[in-house]
């Protein structure tokens, strides 16, 4: 009964370093999403995927990249970390688009600090 699993839970990066946030789901959902949550703000969509091999930009994609080689996995890559990317990152998945009447299931989040 794992649902959506994100790793790591916490990470500190130095400016200019790169890293990959991992996300995997075991519900066979086609739709997956990456959001960031800044302090005192709601979540903003970074990238989403409608199925293996298909990804697209969300509201705030700059500085990030994604890939979707399998249905289960949707990693998020930061190439050159910047302090503005300090945030909590959430991965989510859903069986249908979020535009339809279905809830998204969220991972527990990754708290990233760039120093």
Partner 1 sequence: AQKVTQAQTEISVVEKEDVTLDCVYETRDTTYYLFWYKQPPSGELVFLIRRNSFDEQNEISGRYSWNFQKSTSSFNFTITASQVVDSAVYFCALSNSFFGAGSYQLTFGKGTKLSVIP
H/E run at residue 64: strand 64-66
Nearest to 45 by CA among 32, 35, 55, 56: 35
Instruction: Please identify, using beta-carbon distances, which residue of 58 and 63 lies nearer to partner 1.
Output: 58
> For partner 1, which is the closer residue by CB, 17 or 105?
105
CB of 50 to partner 1, least distance (A): 7
**Least Å from the CB of residue 80 to partner 1:** 25
* Cα→Cα distances 95→28, 63, 65, 68, Å: 8, 28, 23, 16
Nearer to partner 1, 17 or 37 (CB): 37
Residue 23 Cβ, how far from partner 1 at the closest point, in Å? 13
Distance between CA atoms of residues 79 and 51, nearest Å: 23
How many degrees, rounded to 5, is the angle at CA 85 between CA 83 and CA 91? 155
Cβ closest to partner 1, residue 4 vs residue 78: 4
Binding positions for partner 1, rule: CB under 8 A: 31, 33, 40-45, 48, 50, 56, 58-59, 88, 90, 92, 97-109, 111
Cβ 16 to partner 1 shortest distance, Å = 27
Place of tokens 């990030």: 64
């Amino acid at each position: 009964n794992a649902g959506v699993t994100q790793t790591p839970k916490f990470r500190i990066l130095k400016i200019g370093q790169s890293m990959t946030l991992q996300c995997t789901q075991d519900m066979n959902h086609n739709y997956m999403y990456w959001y960031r949550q800044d302090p005192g703000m709601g979540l903003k969509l970074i990238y989403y995927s409608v199925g293996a091999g298909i990804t697209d930009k969300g509201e705030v994609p700059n500085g990030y990249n994604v890939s979707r080689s399998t249905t289960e996995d949707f990693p998020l890559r930061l190439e050159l970390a910047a302090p503005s990317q300090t945030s909590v990152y959430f991965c989510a998945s859903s069986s249908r688009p979020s535009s339809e009447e279905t809830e998204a299931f969220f991972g527990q989040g990754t708290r990233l600090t760039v120093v």
